[in-house]
Amino acid sequence: MEAAAIHEREQEKLAARPKSRALRLPRQVRTGLLYLSLWIAFIWAVFPFYWMIATSIRGKEEIFQRPPSLLPHTVTIQNYVDLLVGAQFWRYAMNSLILTLGVTIISVLISVTAGYAMARHRFKGSVMLPLFMLYGQMFPPVLLLIPFYVQLRFLGWLDSLYGLTPVYLSYMLPLCVWLMRGFFSQVPLSLEDAARMDGCTRWQAFWKVILPMARPGIVAVATWVMIHTWNEFLYASTFILSEKKRTLPLGLSGLIGQYTTDWGVLMAGGVITAAPILLVFFFLQRHLVSGVGGGAVKG
Amino acid sequence: MTPRTLPGRTLRNTWSSVFETGWGAHAYPYLMVLPAVVVVIGVVVYPLASGIITAFYDVTLRTLNSGSAEFVGLRNFERVLADPAFVQASVNTVIWVVLNVVVQLALGLALALLLHRAMPGIGFFRSGILVPWVVPSVVAVLTWRWMYDPSVGIANELLVRLGLIDNYHPWLGDTSTALYAVTVESIWKGTPFVMLLLLAALQLVPRSILEAASMDGASGWRKLWYVILPQIRVSFAIAAVLTFILTVNNFNAIWLMTEGGPLNSSEILFTLAYKYGFKRFDLGMASAVATMLFVGLVIATTVYLKLIQAREGD
């Protein structure tokens, strides 16, 4: 029985071999095809980004010229000047900055001890809590949106940055704790033992030895929170009502007019909103990729 | 084992010595998780419960002001189910989710396989292909909206030049194409993340297995099907569930491009719930839709957690 099966597979392999030989292309052609597909993927991924920049540096007439040309004929910074001269954009940027810093600091402070305790200590709920945190991240925002609205209205916190902070924590904190736990469980246990042997209290061992060791992980989590808070749109657009409390993404979407939209200025705003994120990302690429990919999945 | 330093006497007493013995030691881990647990209960558990409860009450702006909402049982659900927009949105949600998940996984896998090799310049391509993932979602959506512009959009111009269409088409303004046009943007935005997850998984496949397969004469496709895919199947499933959750919750793409229109043709359940809640201010109906979505997501999340546990058990 088994022999027959092997025999069959052997036959199949033999039959398949010449065919695959015939299909095998010469080395140069294969490499050429590889690079061709890489370029196609690259252009597909980068083109909208290019188009945003290209639009932002064109003159007003050229933007609405038909047919549109791939390369800008004239380069101007007029759109950026128009955008930055008004006080609104600065105010949006300031709001975004305040909110991002506040949410990041609070969520890192709270998640750092929780993540550590979950990774290191056995206590009632030390198995269930992390899973619960992961669940917390998966709830559909739309289900939380309504009770948040009712609550913020009740407290009179609608249309304020401090009202948005707890809302953002609901969206950030659970995954922060989960990621932190992942990072702390990678710090070797023996380090803590050594510190305790040398007479540190448990808190000192955590504060002076473990925390500095886990710094790359903490930086990754903090960056992750910053990026998400900076980009968030749904909650901000629902709970922020007045123009001067708007965050950057909200301000950008507000530039879309009912009938006409100044796409040059809008795209300039897009470039400026995306720039800090892109900078952070390309500086910390390694940390973030392993943090989000590894930490989230592997735990 | 005897401690090298004598405990207690030789130590400076600090406030944190409280946690070394007795009740302090017992309470220590609980105190460390306490802030996080309190905040999560306050901002996740409580709102969640109250959101589900809202689905069974008649809550509108008027009842909110008077502070007396009436219990109506399942009537909100009945009203939602009777709304033709809900039926349309459900169908659209299925199309939206299936297209997004299938295409993102297929493209993500192809890209991961493409990028998982040592070639000159591969870092350049990898960084470039990650750009959509990094660009803030609002910025990306608005850029695509501009590219789809019916009169001067570059998407129309490129398609005409490639000979795929004859005339400029209002992609977002046509009921038959709006949902698909938004889907293209969402695929563009979501694929790099799938690629990243699968690339990480591919890098964990032991080289020796691949070499053994090559020695046995397995060709490229067979190696992919019989060797690589079984090795990364858990990551693949995780990527699938994550993509599913992210797609169901993708509000920005639809809202900022079409607001669910024209004529509900690109409405998904998420945007429908949002409209019920914040355009009509019928929070009861909105909660009913959100609760239904929530049940679907809980099922998906449970599958996700099972997968992660299976993987940790490996």
Q: Does A96 touch chain B (CB under 8 A)?
A: no
What pLDDT does A102 receive? 94
Question: Looking at residue A239, what is its pLDDT?
Answer: 92
Q: Would you state the structure tokens that stand for residue B299, as one six-digit string? A: 């099922």
pLDDT tens-digit map of A151-181:
888 888 888 889 899 999 988 888 888 888 8
Beta-ladder partners of B58: B70
Which residues lie closer than 8 Å to B111 by C-beta, 6 or more apart? A41, B129, B191, B192, B195
B219 neighbourhood in chain A, CB within 8 Å: 16, 20, 23-24
Q: Is the pLDDT of residue B314 over 60?
A: no
Tell me what pLDDT residue A296 has.
41
The C-alpha atoms of residue B269 and residue B87 are separated, in whole angstroms, by 9
Averaged confidence pLDDT in chain A: 82
Residue A23 pLDDT grade (very low, low, confident, very high; cuts 50, 70, 90):
low
Banded pLDDT at A51 (limits 50, 70, 90)? very high
Residues whose CB is less than 8 angstroms from the CB of residue B41 and which lie 6 or more positions away in sequence, other chains included:
none
pLDDT at B119 over 60: yes
* Partners of B70 in the β-ladder: B58
Lowest mean pLDDT among A177-186, B126-135, B260-269: A177-186
Asked whether residue B220 carries a pLDDT value surpassing 90, the answer given is: no
Report whether B294 contacts B310 (CB < 8 A).
Answer: no
Residue B63, CA distances (Å) to A188, B54, B68, B291 in order: 56, 12, 6, 20
Residue A73 has a pLDDT of 84
Q: Which residues of B touch A262 (CB under 8 A)?
A: none
pLDDT digits (tens, 9 = 90+) for A278-289: 888 877 776 655
pLDDT of residue A294: 44
Reported as a pLDDT band with limits 50, 70 and 90, residue A12 is low
> Which pLDDT value is given to residue B273?
93
Name the percent of chain B lying above pLDDT 90: 34
Distance in angstroms (rounded) separating the CA atoms of residues B32 and B22? 17
Q: pLDDT value at position B313?
A: 56
pLDDT top residue among A170 and A18: A170
Is the separation of the CB atoms in B150 and B264 below 8 Å?
A: no
Helix orientation angle between B84-115 and B233-248, rounded to the nearest 10 degrees: 140
pLDDT value, residue A16? 47
What dotted CATH number matches A82-298?
1.10.3720.10
pLDDT of the residue at B141: 95
Dihedral sign for Cα A131, A171, A163, A159, please.
negative
Q: Phi first, then psi: what are they for B171, rounded to 5°?
A: -55, -40
Mean pLDDT value across residues B172-189: 93
Mean pLDDT of chain B: 85
Q: Model ipTM?
A: 0.84
Does A100 have pLDDT greater than 90?
A: yes
**Mean pLDDT, residues B61-66 taken together:** 78
Find, among B290, B292, B298, B249, the residue nearest to B273 by Cα.
B290
Closest CB from A70, A201, A231 relative to B138: A231
Best of B39, B66, B202 to disrupt the A interface (most A CBs within 10 Å) is B39
B chain contacts of residue A62, beta-carbon cutoff 8 Å? none
Of residues B229 and A45, more confidence is placed in: A45
For residue A185, what pLDDT is reported?
82
Least confident of A258-267, A269-278, B46-55, B144-153: A258-267
Cα–Cα distance between A118 and B239 in angstroms, integer?
Answer: 25
Contact A199, A131 (CB under 8 A): no
Amino acid at A192: E
3-state secondary structure A72-112: CCCCCCHHHHHHHHCHHHHHHHHHHHHHHHHHHHHHHHHHH
Q: A interface mutation test: which of B45, B134, B268 has the most A CBs within 10 A?
A: B134
Range with the poorest average pLDDT among A1-15, B40-54, B139-153: A1-15
**Which one-letter DSSP state was computed for residue A176?**
H
B110 — pLDDT class (breaks 50, 70, 90) = very high
Taking phi over 0 as left and psi of -120 to 50 as alpha, with beta for the rest, B207 belongs to alpha
Distance CA B166, CA A134 (A): 49
The reply to whether residue B59 touches residue A150, judged by beta carbons under 8 angstroms, is yes
pLDDT at B179 over 90: yes
Query: What are all long-range contacts of A147-151, with beta carbons under 8 Å and residues at least 24 apart?
Result: A147/B46, A147/B47, A147/B48, A147/B50, A147/B51, A147/B54, A148/A235, A148/A239, A148/B47, A149/A238, A149/A239, A149/B277, A149/B278, A149/B283, A150/B50, A150/B54, A150/B59, A150/B64, A150/B283, A151/B47, A151/B50
Is pLDDT at B11 greater than 90 in this prediction?
no
Residue A206 pLDDT grade (very low, low, confident, very high; cuts 50, 70, 90)? confident
pLDDT over threshold 90, residue A15: no
Q: Report chain B's terminal Cα–Cα distance, integer Å.
A: 34
Q: What is the mean pLDDT of residues A104-125?
A: 88
pLDDT bin (cut points 50, 70, 90) of residue A24 is low
- pLDDT greater than 80 at residue B200: yes
Domain spans of chain A, in order of start: 1-51, 82-298
Q: Does the distance separating the beta carbons of A230 and B251 come in below 8 Å?
A: no
Structure tokens at A108: 């890192």
Note whether A299 contacts B308, CB cutoff 8 Å. yes
What phi and psi values does residue A71 have, to the nearest 5 degrees?
A: -105, 135
Q: What is the pLDDT of residues B257-294, one digit of tens each?
A: 998 878 889 999 999 999 999 898 888 999 999 999 98
- With tokens 């190696």, the residue in question is B223
Determine the Cα–Cα distance for residues B122 and B138; give it in Å rounded to an integer: 29
Contact with chain B for residue A204, Cβ under 8 A: yes
The DSSP line for A275-286 is HHHHHHHHHHHH
State the nearest Cα–Cα gap between B284 and chain A, in angstroms. 9
User: Could you tell me what percent of chain A has a pLDDT over 70?
Assistant: 87
pLDDT reported for residue B192: 92
Per-residue pLDDT for A9 more than 70? no
Q: Find residues 169-228 of chain B whose CB sits inside 8 Å of chain A.
A: 188, 192, 196-197, 200, 217, 219, 222
pLDDT at B255 > cutoff 90: yes
Please name each of the domains of chain B with its CATH number. Answer: 21-71 (no CATH), 84-313 (1.10.3720.10)
Helix H segments across B41-83?
Answer: 46-54, 61-66, 75-82
Min Cα separation B176/chain A (Å): 23
Could you tell me the pLDDT band of residue B99, with boundaries at 50, 70 and 90? very high
Exposed e or buried b per residue across B40-79, where buried means at least 16 C-beta atoms within 10 angstroms of its C-beta: beebbeebbebbbebbbbbbeeeebeeeebeebeebbbeb
What's the pLDDT at A297?
A: 40
Scanning A232-290, the segments in alpha helix (DSSP H) are 234-239, 248-254, 263-289
Please give the average per-residue pLDDT across A59-66, as a whole number. Answer: 83
Nearest to B161 by CA among A263, A68, A58: A68
Confidence of residue B180 (pLDDT cuts 50, 70, 90): very high
Span A136-147, mean pLDDT? Answer: 81
State mean pLDDT over B306-310: 73
Task: Name the minimum distance, in Å, from the CA of B16 to any CA of chain A.
Answer: 6
For residue B20, the model assigns a pLDDT of 77
A147, B47: Cβ pair inside 8 Å? yes
Which of 116-175 (B) contact A at CB < 8 A? 119, 125, 127-132, 134-140, 142-147, 149, 151-154, 157, 160
Q: Are B188 and A48 in contact (CB under 8 A)?
A: yes
Q: Which of residues 52-71 of B touch A (CB under 8 A)?
A: 52, 54, 59, 64
3-state secondary structure of B204: coil
Average pLDDT on A28-38 reads: 89
